[in-house]
Amino acid sequence: MKWTIAVLPGDGVGPEVTKLAVDVLDSTAKIFNHELNTDYYDIGWSAYKNHGNPLPQETLEGCKSADAVLLGAVGDPRGDELPPELRPERGLLALRKKLGCFANIRPSRLLPCLAKASPLTLETVENTDLVIVRELAGGIYYGEPTGITESGDTAFDTMKYHRDEIVRITRVAFDIAMNRKKKVVSVDKANVLSSSRLWRNTVNEIALEYPEIECSHMFVDRAAMELVMNPQGFDVLLTSNLFGDILSDEAAAVVGSIGLLASASLNEDGGGIFEPVHGSAPDIAGSGSANPLAAILSAAMLVRQTYSLETEASLIEDSVEAVLEAGLRTPDLDRRGPTVGTETIGSAVSHHILQQTL
Ligand code: IPM
Ligand code: MG
């Protein structure tokens, strides 16, 4: 099979982790006789620097014509000085919107060999295996009006949802739950927010179409607490753009490190952007210590989702697990060490893949 992938390394640690993820795709393609074609494009701060725009037209066109997009990270402290429409993050938000990526899937599973990396006790975190389904194309991230008054002393953002936006993300969450433990917890703030009340009512309506699914609702503050007290209790968490952003970083920490969390941002056709949940981490960029496993696991999601190649995707995931089981750790996974760098752990995954005899 021919794979045509648009690669957007982005900013900070993005290029470092993306390189290892592409190496892993390359090794996987080799082993299974696929042809890998990668086209590189700028996004975020690097795109602003080179083209004066965080999402250049060329990047957007390149992403549209590829089978899928593999993205590193966006964000740079120098972007803080820019007007809102030129900030690096705007490049990513515009790309998600323009590609119609409304469903962000963020799985969090505790690997037994990483139990010690979690800040929680083994008893609490054991068997944690959940998926956050985050609405990605609406809510307060995109609501109008937004801005700051002329006097500069008042600023506002609008949290807005249309029923149709809630319907489509709810169906994604329920469909995922059908292949799992059939439990959906929808997270909102319906005791305070109108948009959350519409969210809750709409989820209840769709739940009627899925009688096998056990559907319940939880306020976001309670969900934040439950995630650290009883993460095993969750199967699928369905939530809005902002709440999903916050809870997915928390879920990452629960299972060890945000350096491990992969995600898929999907459109109506099931295509999309595959990106680690972590950001550009400017503090460690260039130090060679970033964890590339989230980017590598995002590449595995890409292969499974875009090409329906389960064996290839599983081999990548199993190889990640194998190098962790062999004891390799980047600093985010072990504060006391000894640890290895980005290249070492990433190339160990590629090496493991290439050793397979099919
Ligand atoms: C994420 C990130 C982004 C988001 C930022 C970089 C715009 O935090 O993917 O979780 O808020 O969606
Ligand atoms: Mg985030």
Per residue in 88-135, pLDDT (tens digit) is: 999 999 999 999 999 999 999 999 999 989 999 999 999 999 999 999
Ligand 1 pocket residues where CB is under 6 Å: 74-75, 89, 92-93, 245, 277, 279
pLDDT, mean of residues 189-209: 98
Q: Shortest CA distance to 255 belongs to which of 121, 108, 107?
A: 108
pLDDT, mean of residues 229-257: 97
Q: Which atom, in ligand 1's list, is nearest to the CA of 245?
A: 10
pTM (two decimals): 0.96
pLDDT, mean of residues 315-331: 97
Per-residue pLDDT tens digits for 124-173? 999 999 999 999 999 999 999 999 999 999 999 999 999 999 999 999 99
CATH topology of domain 119-254: Isopropylmalate Dehydrogenase (3.40.718)
Q: Which residue out of 8, 71, 89 has the highest number of ligand 1 atoms within 8 Å of its CB and is therefore the one to mutate?
A: 89
241 has which bridge partners?
A: none
Q: Which atom, in ligand 1's list, is nearest to the CA of 136?
A: 12
Residue 18 buriedness (CB in 10 A; 0-12 / 13-18 / 19+): buried
Q: Which two tokens stand for residue 145?
A: 């009006």
Q: Domain limits of the chain?
A: 1-101+272-358, 119-254
Question: By alpha-carbon position, which residue is closest to atom 7 of ligand 1?
Answer: 89
Which residues are annotated as catalytic? Answer: 141, 189, 221, 245, 249
Residue pair 28/315 in contact by the 8 Å Cβ criterion: yes
Quote the ligand 1 centre to 1 CA distance (angstroms). Answer: 32
CATH topology of domain 1-101+272-358: Isopropylmalate Dehydrogenase (3.40.718)
Quote the ligand 2 centre to 276 CA distance (angstroms). Answer: 10
